[in-house]
Structure 1
Amino acid sequence: MSFLFLPLLVLWTLALAPAAPVLALMKNPVRTRAFSRFWARGVLAILRGVGRLSYVEEGLENRPAGPALYIANHQSAWETIAFAVLVPDVAIVLKEELYRIPVFGWFLRHSPMIAIDRAGGASSLKKMFREGREAAAQGRSLLIFPEGTRRGPHERAEFQRGVVLLYKALGLPAVPVAHNAGRYWKGRSFTLRPGTVRVVYLPALPPGLPDGEFLERITHAIYDTRDRLVAEDGE
């Protein structure tokens, strides 16, 4: 039944498209984010209904009560969609190209998320810091995928320097998050496997750690947990 996912996703997105001009007139990012969560919940329901793909959260006690910097591995489109529901009002650091996607890109832009031009160098980093501080000041948490692009369930990559700089700039607790979504939604395809995505929140790292210690701890926390999830999946 997973072959129905893509057409249903398109239909669901187009059905909500007329809300965009109304929200544009309102100029209210809070309402835009609420509508985006409504869309994301619909996508997760479609995944559950036709793809038999659900999810479970573990380690919820590790999530701080206030804003935090969530740092997650990146395997598929699933986590980009799901985190709008898992961490309400989250500001996701994402590549600017996603703004060009019809309808979906409009909601990302007006939520707003933190879009980065990966060829922008220092100016892109300054923009990330500025918009990250603005989001945190509004009580929003942030989410960054430090691998920079989607990786396979067994792949490891050196985390990009931007995650360290953002951690220093924000002064927020950093929550490592590991998941196995790539086992069920493959990379850049729309091929789905039935199962349960496991999202694991690990103990938060306090602000102010030295760069090297922070990077080592966050890397090991995410990859060691991800590898455990893969092993428990039987791979």
Structure 2
Amino acid sequence: MPGLLMAGSMLAVSIFLAWKNGFPQHEPTAIFAAIMAFLVSLPALLVPVLILGGILSGLTTVTEASAFAAVYTLLVGILLYRRLTWAKVWDALVVTIRFSGVVFFLLAASSVLSWFVVRSGLARDAADIISGVSDSRTIQLLLVIAFLILLGTVMDVLPALVVVGPILHPTMVGLGFDSLHFAIIMIVTLNVSNITPPVGMTLLTAAKIAEVPTERVIVAAVPFFIAVIVSILLLAFIPSLSLWVPALLD
């Protein structure tokens, strides 16, 4: 549900921007043509299914699933579609190495910044201060969300969870929040860091793929950032959005 909510909010922003800027519309596609296109692309669409299925089922590790998907893609492209040549494979490898070099350089820089935040105790001290500011559930929750968004601008998701999760979780549970509900809020909020500089890896990756200046991408991402913030607030103050499906499976 949180993922669908965020996807829906960003889809709404995309539709509004397309209408406002007069983006060209695609010609209507016949149902039969759409079905045939889906069937033709089905072998390629199985790649994420194989990756996630192998990882979630426990049959493979993340690395093994990635390697298996790479081999599967090569076989499908060469033997089934017959459009993937070794020259194209080599070009793809060269582009990937160049692109990965930029991404890993950014990751290295963000890791140094994260190390400083952790070693200095800034994140831990800020979490302690927030947990003692007020006994009001609403104020506490808003402060925590604001803090997590700020933290996400200088730290990646996993380090931030490890640093502040054990500190914030007991306080929020003590205020009456469900553990799962608060965990979802933390994860969704920290994922905003993927589209906020300077550690916004998704933002920087998108700029690199589109070959446009990062500053232009940051400005273009503002409406989507607002949509995500609205989604976070809805998840925070309407717990059923996060807990409805788990309650059905309980």
TM range (shorter): under 0.3
Q: Rg: which structure is higher?
A: 2
- Relative contact order higher in (CA < 8 Å, ≥ 6 apart): 1
Greater share of residues in helix: 2
Greater share of residues in strand: 1
TM-score, with normalisation over the residues of structure 1? 0.25
TM-score, with normalisation over the residues of structure 2? 0.24
